Chains A and B, each alone.
Chain A
Amino acid sequence: MAAELALLEGTLGLRNGTKYGAQGERQIPVLQTNNGPGLTGLITIAAHLVKQAKKEQLLGSTAEEKAVVQQWLEYRVTRVDRCSSKEDTRTILKDLNTHLEDKVYLAGNSFTLADILMYYGLHHVMVDLTVQEKEKYLNVSRWFNHIQHYPGVRQQLSNVVFIKNRLYTNAH
């Protein structure tokens, strides 16, 4: 997850070059700050970085949007990161596919931190999907492809290829 924060720093245009510590079995990232005991946790640090980069709009601009962003960040660390089986992964993809049916971004019409972190969190999942599965979770695929082409987001992560024409037009 520390690597992910380094990517986020890149996306935000920060050049901190921070070295993140890691805590416990799950390697929860820790950010040392000059004052106080530092910050622990992926979304906590991510939100901190966003504020540092003065891009608060990525945390949502209205109270509602803020809450929705927060919710998807939490979803990322509690649900996506805890997938331990294929079955769990399928549930996540199904949920997201439903949610994204009528939305461009996770929080609606604006690109937010939730999109960035969800993209990082799902990258390893999407890389492994078959063409068929990508079609099955069409909305997730569209969203994912959109985010990975969003300027500055992907960086050194591999580009996941989505085929534009449907292979299985009769697939459900």
Chain B
Amino acid sequence: MSEALRAEHCGSCSSTKPGLPVSEAPRAGHCGSCSSVPNRTPRPGSRRPPAPVASAAMRLQVAAGGPAALKVVAAAEFAAAPVRLCWSAPAEQPLSPLCSPWVPALQLDSGAVLFSPNAICQYLFLAGGQEPTDLTNQWLEWEATELQPVVAAALYAQLVHGKKGLEAAGHLGKLLAYIEQSLSGRGTAYLAGDTQSVADVVVWGALFPVLQDEASLSNELQALRTWFQTMTLSEACRKAANSVLMPKGLLEFKSYLQKQPPPCLAMERATSNEPEEEEASERVLTEEEITAAADAWARGAAALPKPWHPQKPVLPVEGMRNVLITSALPYVNNVPHLGNIIGCVLSADTFARYCRLRNWNTLYVCGTDEYGTATETKAVEEGLTPREICDKYNAIHADIYRWFHISFDYFGRTTTPHQTTIAQDIFQRLLARGFLLQDTVEQLQCEGCQRFLADRFVEGICPFCGYEEARGDQCDKCGKLINAVELKVGWDPSGRPVALPGTPTVFWALSKPFLCFSSQKRPQCKLCRGIPVVKPTQHLFLDLPKLEEQLEPWLEHSWSTGDWTANARYITRSWIRDGLKPRCITRDLKWGTPVPLDGYRDKVFYVWFDAPIGYLSITANYTDQWERWWKNPQQVELYNFMAKDNVPFHSVIFPCSLLGADDNYTLVNHLIATEYLNYEDGKFSKSRGVGVFGDMAKDTGIPADIWRFYLLYLRPEGQDSAFSWSDLMLKNNSELLNNLGNFINRAGMFVCKFFGGVVPDMVLTMDDKRLLARVTLELRQYHQLLEKVRIRDALRCILSISRHGNQYIQVNEPWKRIKGNEEDRQRAGTVTGVAVNMASLLAVMVQPYMPSVSQAIQGQLCIPPECFVLSHIFTCTLPPGHRVGTVSPLFQKLENDQIEALRKRFGGGQPEDLTVVCQAKPTPPAPVPAPASGPVVAPGDPQLIQELTEQVAKQGNHVRQLKANKAEKAEVDAEVAKLLELKKQLALAEGKSPEVLVPKGKRKK
């Protein structure tokens, strides 16, 4: 229909026509072309009711050949808006100076002109009575900022550069996956709910030119496919597509696109993950760099330093770089989550491994922090002694870290005699030097239990930022430390906490575990239901104001000579700026290091005075010569790793203790603090069961090295980052499997397949030398970054080298050349030899990140142990004649189902009766015999599946009923077992790989 109409340009709408100014353009309906497309223009006598907002027909000017035309025409159709559509040639004068000639414009009744296609669409829907919602707004913004640039680039690549399919699609895949995820996640038929909205039209309009038909979508995008099909088949979209894309289909857009500048880099960058890296690799190499790289290569393994293997115990060595690494001591009574692991132990481990590979004499110590009320409480809860609790959880921690391959030289604990000796010694020295004050403070005490309430169990309003759930020792929101004992509190007759006269106006409410509010808001002791009273008690304070004059010059020196992360400097600076106050270092507890002073014998040291001393005492348990590490600032460089909430303890309080004790202590040179890692855009929460905790990581079936890789890849350096299951899958499949693993595997396979397992002779061309120089650059960059402990960024260099390697193999095609003439075969040999040597280098570089993978490569390629050392040069470590071993794939693909199951399991949603434990893609699943009790199942029988599904549902209800009625445990268990059996049969009937079903609660902790 529109072909004929389109063919002739509509005269009535052209404002350029003499004597026909825009305002006097003939009414719609007189002009066939104008009214032809959305034929909604009200004609005289039309029975269509007047539109609610716009009374007369508005003029919608659409340029033939502009891609945005699709969505506005479709929106006009959908909203049945009274618009007058005018096709214009791009050369015509636009409706307003801001309108781009190719983009549709809508002239409103007021005379204002809308020149943004999305705003036009939204207006048309609004005029039809559909108000925008948060969700439609979000889709429109996403479409404008994310989708449009990528679609424009894809269309450009396709129509102007003539690229095909995937090559043209560029970054589109990620965006399509996002739509798929949104649709399937919400379970709605349309983007913003169960009915069509402006969001659907706008996104469809953008996608249609690049997708055209849903057949090009992969099976994984099922929901997107259905949605896209529904949209495309709807009358409005069909009409829009017909009119805009007639007669030449997509080629209609070509002349428009040819006049556009190629989609600019800034836009592409917005969707790319590693902009900096690409820039770095594009750097032009100099002649000198290329020659130097070739020389270094020729020198071979002899050019590498001999790997240094220190004697045990590791002690500082004169003339060597002696590196002492600590990671913040994890508190013993909880299981660390992934955020804790990346924040301290894993970051420190990666750095420690790097230091060892650099032949630096390195000691890495850590241990559990065990004293304090939290342990006492846990002991009461579990009916054990504090000591037993510590033994139990220390073992759990040690297990988790072993599984993550954390290479502690020693993993100790704080509850040892050495701790008492060293802490008391520091205390006595501080006392003797006049850095301790005493004062009476009032503290809450439960008279029945004879216990004072610990700071961390006091909750209240933060005096600094007003956060209502601040803990008594530190505010989780603003991170400021609070001196809870300074804050006094009383109770009004109704039991509400009130400030006592003459004290700071800060209110403290008390909460778990000793106290909880009953319904009358009256505080009670959780153990005995007694009411706590405020009692005076004597305490000792570290005189921080007096120590400030020593602290400042030391900090200045440490900052100018060491690497402190920006957040560590910032937090410390603001802490000092706010003014240092005396800090209480004693507590009325039993489980702690006793205070060796008369009048205080029944008290212990406050954990934050005590815990950092743990670094020293743990080293003392490792070697009796611990003072060579800890009282030796001349020879030792100290790195402290932690999450940012621990900074003030390590940068102010602990250094003040050591400076005041004045015994030539080794103070921190480099303070490395991470930001927080969130879980799927939320917080890890043990109580809500959200997130992955250390002990569960191994149950996921995903190898420890993959966890290490992904956590380090996301390491919150500089800003918070978030763990995401789909991203984990993506990074595993794209970076490890397709990039790094693929390269190393191919290099090794070529040696085995084409050269009988022996590295061939190499004759380097200029191209090869350039590659050597490129790799050397990346290696240098890797060192520069790791020396500054920028662990995450350095990982990019590794991936960059393997990317270069893949490209090198792809360009030179050794698998083809090996079949060619003598010259070709020699070339195949050279390429294979260079590639396998790159793999050998990667094995060493990757060791700090993925030690088992590194070991596997070393085994497969038979890399000599003396090459396991890092220098600044890339040299030939596997010379011609070197024999490699058996080469096999390093990584396995993570599948969508598996990841979805894990996401569900760790999502923190409603607890289910059953937990699915997924095995990491097992080597072809062993066929499982049908259960003897059930019928023999043939996979895929729909009737059987139906029956079983019903039975599972019924049995599930039955179990829930029993549980709700508090039935006998044995009975419940028996019914649960039946349910499990049914589910297993169902899984088999559906032909799924058998999953291991484990009843909840019996999961291994």
Judge whether A78 and B266 touch: CB under 8 Å.
no
Of A37, A67, A84, most buried by chain B (CB within 10 Å of CB) is: A67
Judge whether B681 and A67 touch: CB under 8 Å.
no
| Distance from B7 Cβ to chain A, minimum over Cβ atoms (Å) | 32
B269 interface residue (CB < 8 Å to A): yes
Chain B residues whose C-beta falls within 8 Å of the C-beta of A30 in the assembled complex:
681
B388 interface residue (CB < 8 Å to A): no
Residues in chain B within 8 A of chain A (CB atoms): 53-54, 97-98, 108-110, 112, 114-116, 118-120, 122-123, 126-127, 132, 134, 137-138, 140-142, 144-145, 148, 185, 264, 266-267, 269-273, 275, 465-466, 678, 681-682, 719-720, 722
Judge whether A67 and B114 touch: CB under 8 Å.
yes
| Distance from A116 Cβ to chain B, minimum over Cβ atoms (Å) | 16
Chain A residues whose C-beta falls within 8 Å of the C-beta of B140 in the assembled complex:
70, 74
| Distance from B111 Cβ to chain A, minimum over Cβ atoms (Å) | 10
Return the contact of A74 from the options B108, B126, B144, B267 (Cβ within 8 A).
Answer: B144
Chain A residues whose C-beta falls within 8 Å of the C-beta of B110 in the assembled complex:
64
Q: Contacts A47-B134, A63-B53 hold; do A41 and B142 have CB atoms under 8 A apart?
A: yes
A110 interface residue (CB < 8 Å to B): no
Return the contact of B142 from the options A22, A40, A98, A108 (Cβ within 8 A).
Answer: A40
| Distance from A24 Cβ to chain B, minimum over Cβ atoms (Å) | 8
Return the contact of B98 from the options A48, A70, A98 (Cβ within 8 A).
Answer: A98
Judge whether B126 and A71 touch: CB under 8 Å.
no
| Distance from B152 Cβ to chain A, minimum over Cβ atoms (Å) | 12
Judge whether A25 and B720 touch: CB under 8 Å.
no
Judge whether A66 and B126 touch: CB under 8 Å.
yes
A26 interface residue (CB < 8 Å to B): yes
Return the contact of B97 from the options A22, A40, A48, A98 (Cβ within 8 A).
Answer: A98
Q: Contacts A21-B678, A78-B144, A84-B266 hold; do A44 and B108 have CB atoms under 8 A apart?
A: no
Q: Contacts A25-B270, A41-B141 hold; do A64 and B108 have CB atoms under 8 A apart?
A: yes
A38 interface residue (CB < 8 Å to B): yes
A81 CA to B112 CA in the complex, in Å? 24
A42 interface residue (CB < 8 Å to B): yes
Judge whether B138 and A40 touch: CB under 8 Å.
yes
Q: Contacts A21-B722, A37-B185, A44-B138 hold; do A67 and B119 have CB atoms under 8 A apart?
A: yes
Q: What sequence of 0s and 1s flags, for each residue 22-35 of chain A, a beta carbon within 8 Å of any chain B beta carbon?
A: 10111010101000
Chain A residues whose C-beta falls within 8 Å of the C-beta of B142 in the assembled complex:
40-41
Chain A residues whose C-beta falls within 8 Å of the C-beta of B134 in the assembled complex:
39, 44, 47-48
Return the contact of B138 from the options A25, A41, A75 (Cβ within 8 A).
Answer: A41
Judge whether A71 and B108 touch: CB under 8 Å.
no
A136 interface residue (CB < 8 Å to B): no
A12 interface residue (CB < 8 Å to B): no
Q: Contacts A63-B53, A64-B112, A95-B98 hold; do A84 and B270 have CB atoms under 8 A apart?
A: no
Chain B residues whose C-beta falls within 8 Å of the C-beta of A71 in the assembled complex:
114-116, 119
Judge whether A38 and B681 touch: CB under 8 Å.
yes
A78 CA to B68 CA in the complex, in Å? 15
Return the contact of B141 from the options A62, A64, A77, A95 (Cβ within 8 A).
Answer: A77
Chain B residues whose C-beta falls within 8 Å of the C-beta of A40 in the assembled complex:
138, 141-142
Return the contact of A21 from the options B108, B148, B270, B681 (Cβ within 8 A).
Answer: B681
Chain A residues whose C-beta falls within 8 Å of the C-beta of B53 in the assembled complex:
62-64
Task: List 8 A-B residue pairs with CB atoms under 8 Å apart, sorted by A's residue number.
Answer: A38-B681, A40-B141, A47-B132, A66-B122, A66-B126, A67-B108, A67-B126, A74-B140
Q: Contacts A22-B719, A77-B144 hold; do A68 and B114 have CB atoms under 8 A apart?
A: yes
Judge whether B270 and A26 touch: CB under 8 Å.
yes
Judge whether A63 and B137 touch: CB under 8 Å.
no
A122 interface residue (CB < 8 Å to B): no
Chain A residues whose C-beta falls within 8 Å of the C-beta of B269 in the assembled complex:
25
Q: Contacts A26-B270, A37-B185, A39-B138 hold; do A67 and B678 have CB atoms under 8 A apart?
A: no
Chain B residues whose C-beta falls within 8 Å of the C-beta of A28 in the assembled complex:
145
A25 CA to B109 CA in the complex, in Å? 41
Judge whether A74 and B116 touch: CB under 8 Å.
yes
Return the contact of B266 from the options A22, A62, A82 (Cβ within 8 A).
Answer: A82
A99 interface residue (CB < 8 Å to B): yes
Judge whether A21 and B720 touch: CB under 8 Å.
yes
A122 CA to B452 CA in the complex, in Å? 56
Q: What sequence of 0s and 1s flags, for each residue 105-139 of chain A, a beta carbon within 8 Å of any chain B beta carbon?
A: 00010000000000000000000000000000000
| Distance from B313 Cβ to chain A, minimum over Cβ atoms (Å) | 45
Judge whether B120 and A67 touch: CB under 8 Å.
yes
**Cβ-closest 9 pairs across A and B:** A67-B123, A71-B119, A41-B141, A44-B138, A84-B266, A63-B53, A71-B116, A44-B137, A70-B119
Chain A, 38-87, CB within 8 A of any chain B CB: 38-44, 47-48, 62-64, 66-68, 70-71, 74-75, 77-78, 81-82, 84
Q: Closest A-chain residue to B265, C-beta based?
A: A84
Chain B residues whose C-beta falls within 8 Å of the C-beta of A77 in the assembled complex:
141, 144-145
Range, interface on chain A: 35 or more
Judge whether A74 and B119 touch: CB under 8 Å.
yes
Chain A residues whose C-beta falls within 8 Å of the C-beta of B123 in the assembled complex:
63-64, 66-67, 70
Judge whether A41 and B145 touch: CB under 8 Å.
yes
Chain A residues whose C-beta falls within 8 Å of the C-beta of B148 in the assembled complex:
78
Judge whether A99 and B98 touch: CB under 8 Å.
yes
| Distance from B171 Cβ to chain A, minimum over Cβ atoms (Å) | 12
| Distance from B265 Cβ to chain A, minimum over Cβ atoms (Å) | 8
Chain B residues whose C-beta falls within 8 Å of the C-beta of A37 in the assembled complex:
185, 681
Chain A residues whose C-beta falls within 8 Å of the C-beta of B678 in the assembled complex:
21
A42 CA to B146 CA in the complex, in Å? 13
| Distance from A93 Cβ to chain B, minimum over Cβ atoms (Å) | 13
A101 CA to B100 CA in the complex, in Å? 19
| Distance from B233 Cβ to chain A, minimum over Cβ atoms (Å) | 29
Q: A47-B137, A64-B123 are in contact. List 19 more A-B contacts (CB 8 A).
A: A21-B678, A24-B270, A26-B270, A37-B681, A39-B134, A40-B138, A41-B142, A43-B137, A64-B110, A66-B132, A67-B119, A70-B119, A70-B122, A71-B114, A77-B145, A84-B266, A95-B97, A98-B98, A99-B98
Of A63, A68, A98, most buried by chain B (CB within 10 Å of CB) is: A63
| Distance from A140 Cβ to chain B, minimum over Cβ atoms (Å) | 14
A67 CA to B269 CA in the complex, in Å? 30
Q: Closest A-chain residue to B142, C-beta based?
A: A41
A42 CA to B275 CA in the complex, in Å? 23
| Distance from A139 Cβ to chain B, minimum over Cβ atoms (Å) | 13
A71 CA to B110 CA in the complex, in Å? 16
Chain A residues whose C-beta falls within 8 Å of the C-beta of B108 in the assembled complex:
64, 67
Chain B residues whose C-beta falls within 8 Å of the C-beta of A66 in the assembled complex:
122-123, 126, 132
Chain A residues whose C-beta falls within 8 Å of the C-beta of B719 in the assembled complex:
22
Return the contact of A63 from the options B127, B185, B466, B720 (Cβ within 8 A).
Answer: B127
A39 CA to B134 CA in the complex, in Å? 8
A39 CA to B733 CA in the complex, in Å? 28
| Distance from A59 Cβ to chain B, minimum over Cβ atoms (Å) | 9
| Distance from B468 Cβ to chain A, minimum over Cβ atoms (Å) | 11
A143 CA to B54 CA in the complex, in Å? 30
Q: Closest B-chain residue to A64, C-beta based?
A: B108
Q: Closest B-chain residue to A68, C-beta based?
A: B112
A99 CA to B116 CA in the complex, in Å? 14
Judge whether B682 and A32 touch: CB under 8 Å.
yes
| Distance from B80 Cβ to chain A, minimum over Cβ atoms (Å) | 15
A49 CA to B114 CA in the complex, in Å? 25
Chain A residues whose C-beta falls within 8 Å of the C-beta of B466 in the assembled complex:
17
Q: Closest B-chain residue to A15, C-beta based?
A: B466
Q: Contacts A47-B137, A64-B110 hold; do A70 and B118 have CB atoms under 8 A apart?
A: yes
Judge whether A64 and B109 touch: CB under 8 Å.
yes
Judge whether B681 and A32 touch: CB under 8 Å.
yes
Chain A residues whose C-beta falls within 8 Å of the C-beta of B119 in the assembled complex:
67-68, 70-71, 74
Chain B residues whose C-beta falls within 8 Å of the C-beta of A95 in the assembled complex:
97-98
Judge whether A74 and B141 touch: CB under 8 Å.
yes
Chain A residues whose C-beta falls within 8 Å of the C-beta of B97 in the assembled complex:
95, 98
Judge whether B144 and A84 touch: CB under 8 Å.
no
| Distance from B910 Cβ to chain A, minimum over Cβ atoms (Å) | 15
Judge whether B141 and A44 touch: CB under 8 Å.
yes
A68 CA to B111 CA in the complex, in Å? 12
Chain B residues whose C-beta falls within 8 Å of the C-beta of A63 in the assembled complex:
53-54, 123, 126-127
| Distance from A45 Cβ to chain B, minimum over Cβ atoms (Å) | 9
